[in-house]
């Protein structure tokens, strides 16, 4: 089989950050008309490699060749002009501008020096129809969903004569249909001869779309493989660098628990969630399943006192209380690890130690600082238990990868020794290795008597961990299913779809 000449070759790339060797001798080549997956755990160096390629960071070592000529980009703009376009995980567009502007800004069609709005809209429509989209291109981007915004970002990326398109976790916030649409677009671009570099944590997606993959681990190259020649299990093993023992399949099971910890009766909040009743026992893992916007987070926020319940009552360990503020919930030893770790949780400019100690300090009040020795001991313990990497308590959280940031957030709540831990999408956007670790941890914690309310968009994960699953639909709790052998993702999916009417 003749392999066409690569469009882009990176060889021997090295990149050093203060205290961390982010990349060391990494090679990558992209062939025209191929989707190339870049695989690796969080912190393996994927993002750094992409940033070196697009000129965000200069490389310390190694060369980049584009179409046979050596290049070194000083900025993403230069890379773009050379035909390397990037669509990032967080959509980097200006939502205050119109769809058409977002596609063309910086290179608007002009006539006599003035922007030709009419032609811009026409060309935007043309370009979007190439992606099988029909939008009102003069409407502000903020009126469209995140998925559509992502497509607009891709439209922007391919309008310049892109030779290389980098998609950095484009699917993490898309639903199944939207992913399918994205893949259709990717296949079409592939036919046009564009080389696509694709980063995703969803292995199924990788196997569906990619032709070839490069695996990184700890900033080093593991190898380049043809996707169809590398079974999933081996891929995972190569990514985490261990044998598969670590991936032993956990499975939740239906158990009968004796001691109720939290009992919510007809708890509800107008506009957020209809009144529901829910009992969480000590040592029980309760999974919440439902689509995005079905009321999963709303339940968690009510139980944590972040929102006020309009109706109903709540009892903790049998005694009636009102959880009016998160502080009140914390005194009952309820902890909430939120979905959005960047916005509501971590302080990026503080160190790992400071971030972990924050909640503990808050419960003690500012007049009684936690002694440094105790801090070091506690932090050291959790860094080890959660395998936070790098295992340096004085490292700034900002410089940690997503999965490790999540672990820091988790450590912050675990240090309080909560009786109920609410985890809202703890594994979103993190890799397989960290995912399994967090799952393993949840299982261990519940064995130790902690109750866990586990929210995840991945049904499989919910099934793997939970003792019982609460199914939500349209802001209503529609079913409670014990996790016995008969419960499968299909059953769950059906329950979500039917709204629990059959059960």
Partner 1 sequence: MTTLTLGRTSVPAKYLPVLVTGCLFVAMFLVGGIRYEGFATGQIILNVFIDNGFLLVVAVGMTFVILTGGIDLSVGSVVALSTMISASLMAGPGWPPYLVVPLVLLIGSGLGLVMGYIIHAFDIQPFIVTLAGMFLARGLCYTIGTDSIPIEDPTFTAFAQTRIDLFADMWISPSVVIALVVVGVAAYVLHYTRFGRAVYATGGSEQSALLMGLPVARTKVTVYTISGFCSALGGVLLSFYMLSGYGLHAVGMELDAIAAVVIGGTLLTGGTGFLLGTVLGVLVLGLIQTIISFEGTLSSWWTKIFIGLLLFVFILLQRLFSARTRR
- Under rule CB under 8 A, residue 48 binds partner 1: no
**Size, binding site for partner 1 by CB under 8 A:** 24
Distance, CA of 287 to CA of 179 (rounded, Å): 25
Cα–Cα–Cα angle for 154, 77, 61, rounded to 5 degrees: 110
Least distance from C-beta 96 to partner 1, angstroms? 4
- Under rule CB under 8 A, residue 76 binds partner 1: yes
Sign of the CA dihedral with 127 first, then 133, 136, and 140 last: negative
Per-residue HEC secondary structure of 336-366 comes to EECCCHHHHCCCCCCEHHHHHHHHHHHHHCC
- Under rule CB under 8 A, residue 92 binds partner 1: yes
- Under rule CB under 8 A, residue 152 binds partner 1: no
Distance, CA of 119 to CA of 110 (rounded, Å): 9
- Under rule CB under 8 A, residue 88 binds partner 1: yes
Distances (CA, A) of 62 to 9, 59, 68, 72, 223: 11, 7, 15, 10, 17
What x/- string results for residues 13 through 32 when contact with partner 1 is judged by CB under 8 A?
A: --------------------
Region binding partner 1 by CB under 8 A among candidate stretches 23-31, 87-95, 226-234, 374-382: 87-95
Token readout for 118 is: 């009419």
- Under rule CB under 8 A, residue 83 binds partner 1: no
- Span 220-259, contacts to partner 1 by CB under 8 A: none
Place of tokens 């909040």: 269
> Based on CB atoms, which residue is closest to partner 1, 110 or 184?
110
> Based on CB atoms, which residue is closest to partner 1, 94 or 233?
94
From the CA atom positions of the chain, what is the Rg in Å? 24
> Based on CB atoms, which residue is closest to partner 1, 95 or 232?
95
State phi, psi for 346 to the nearest 5 degrees: -85, 150
> Based on CB atoms, which residue is closest to partner 1, 94 or 347?
94
- Under rule CB under 8 A, residue 142 binds partner 1: yes
Least distance from C-beta 341 to partner 1, angstroms? 18
- Under rule CB under 8 A, residue 115 binds partner 1: yes
Distance, CA of 56 to CA of 48 (rounded, Å): 9
Tabulate helix, strand, coil % of the chain (nearest 5): 35, 25, 35
- Span 348-407, contacts to partner 1 by CB under 8 A: none
> Based on CB atoms, which residue is closest to partner 1, 153 or 236?
153
> Based on CB atoms, which residue is closest to partner 1, 111 or 368?
111
Strand 311-316: give its sheet, edge to edge: 273-281, 260-269, 311-316, 319-321
Region binding partner 1 by CB under 8 A among candidate stretches 106-114, 176-184, 229-237, 330-338: 106-114
> Based on CB atoms, which residue is closest to partner 1, 110 or 372?
110
Strands (E), 31-81: 35-39, 61-66, 69-71
DSSP secondary-structure letter at 396?
B
Strands (E), 72-122: 84-87, 110-111, 114-115
What x/- string results for residues 202 through 221 when contact with partner 1 is judged by CB under 8 A?
A: --------------------
> Based on CB atoms, which residue is closest to partner 1, 81 or 321?
81
- Under rule CB under 8 A, residue 101 binds partner 1: yes
Among 31, 71, 105, 350, binds partner 1 (CB under 8 A): 105
Region binding partner 1 by CB under 8 A among candidate stretches 99-107, 201-209, 232-240, 351-359: 99-107
DSSP 411-440: HHHHTT--SEEEEESTTTT--HHHHHHHHH
- Under rule CB under 8 A, residue 114 binds partner 1: yes
- Residue 289's contacts (CB-CB under 8 Å, 6 or more residues apart) are 456, 459, 462, 469, 470, 471, 472, 492, 496
- Under rule CB under 8 A, residue 122 binds partner 1: no
Token readout for 277 is: 């009743």
Among 4, 19, 58, 77, binds partner 1 (CB under 8 A): 77
- Under rule CB under 8 A, residue 275 binds partner 1: no
- Under rule CB under 8 A, residue 271 binds partner 1: no
> Based on CB atoms, which residue is closest to partner 1, 91 or 450?
91
Distance, CA of 56 to CA of 197 (rounded, Å): 17
> Based on CB atoms, which residue is closest to partner 1, 16 or 143?
143
- Under rule CB under 8 A, residue 145 binds partner 1: no
> Based on CB atoms, which residue is closest to partner 1, 271 or 448?
271
Residues near partner 1 (CB under 8 A) are: 75-77, 80-81, 86, 88, 92-97, 101, 105-106, 108, 110, 113-115, 140, 142, 156
């Amino acid at each position: 089989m003749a392999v066409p000449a690569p469009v882009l070759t990176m060889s021997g790339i090295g990149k050093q950050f203060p205290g961390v060797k982010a990349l060391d001798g990494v090679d990558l080549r992209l062939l025209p008309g191929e989707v190339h997956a870049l695989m690796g755990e969080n912190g393996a160096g994927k993002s750094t490699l992409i940033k070196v390629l697009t000129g965000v960071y200069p490389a310390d070592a190694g060369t980049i060749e584009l179409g046979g000529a050596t290049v070194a980009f000083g900025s993403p703009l230069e890379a773009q002009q050379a035909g390397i376009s990037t669509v990032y995980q967080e959509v980097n567009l200006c939502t205050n501008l119109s769809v058409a502007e977002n596609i063309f800004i910086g290179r608007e069609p002009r006539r006599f020096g003035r922007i030709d709005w009419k032609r811009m809209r026409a060309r935007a429509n043309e370009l979007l129809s190439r992606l099988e989209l029909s939008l009102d291109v003069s409407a502000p981007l903020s009126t469209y969903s995140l998925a559509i915004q992502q497509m607009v970002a891709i439209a922007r990326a391919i309008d310049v004569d892109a030779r290389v398109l980098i998609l950095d976790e484009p699917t993490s916030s898309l639903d199944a249909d939207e992913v399918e649409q994205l893949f259709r677009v990717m296949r079409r671009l592939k036919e046009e001869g564009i080389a696509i570099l694709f980063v995703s944590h969803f292995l199924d997606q990788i196997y569906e779309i990619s032709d070839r993959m490069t695996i990184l681990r700890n900033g080093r190259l593991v190898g380049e493989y043809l996707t169809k020649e590398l079974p999933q299990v081996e891929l995972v093993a190569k990514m985490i660098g261990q044998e598969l023992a670590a991936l032993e399949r956990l499975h939740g099971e239906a158990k009968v628990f004796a001691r109720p910890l939290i009992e919510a009766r007809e708890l509800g909040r107008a506009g957020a969630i209809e009144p529901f009743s829910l009992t969480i026992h000590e040592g029980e893992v309760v999974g919440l399943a439902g689509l995005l916007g079905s009321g999963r987070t709303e339940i968690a926020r009510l139980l944590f006192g972040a929102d006020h319940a309009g109706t109903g009552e709540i009892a903790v360990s049998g005694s009636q209380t009102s959880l009016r503020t998160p502080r009140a919930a914390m005194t009952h030893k309820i902890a909430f690890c939120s979905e959005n770790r960047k916005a509501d949780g971590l302080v990026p400019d503080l160190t790992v130690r400071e971030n972990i100690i924050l909640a503990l300090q808050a419960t003690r009040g500012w007049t009684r600082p936690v002694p440094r020795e105790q801090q070091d001991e506690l932090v050291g313990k959790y860094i080890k238990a959660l395998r936070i990497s790098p295992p340096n308590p004085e490292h700034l959280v900002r410089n940690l990868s997503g999965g490790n940031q999540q672990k820091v957030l988790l450590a912050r709540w675990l240090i309080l020794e909560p009786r109920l831990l609410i985890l809202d999408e703890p594994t979103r956007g993190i890799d397989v290795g960290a995912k399994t670790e967090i799952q393993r941890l949840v299982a261990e914690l519940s064995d130790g008597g902690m109750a866990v309310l586990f929210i995840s968009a991945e049904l499989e994960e919910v099934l793997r961990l939970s003792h019982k699953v609460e199914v939500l639909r349209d802001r209503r709790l529609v079913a409670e299913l014990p996790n016995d052998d008969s419960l499968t993702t299909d059953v769950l999916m059906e329950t979500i779809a039917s709204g629990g009417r059959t059960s």
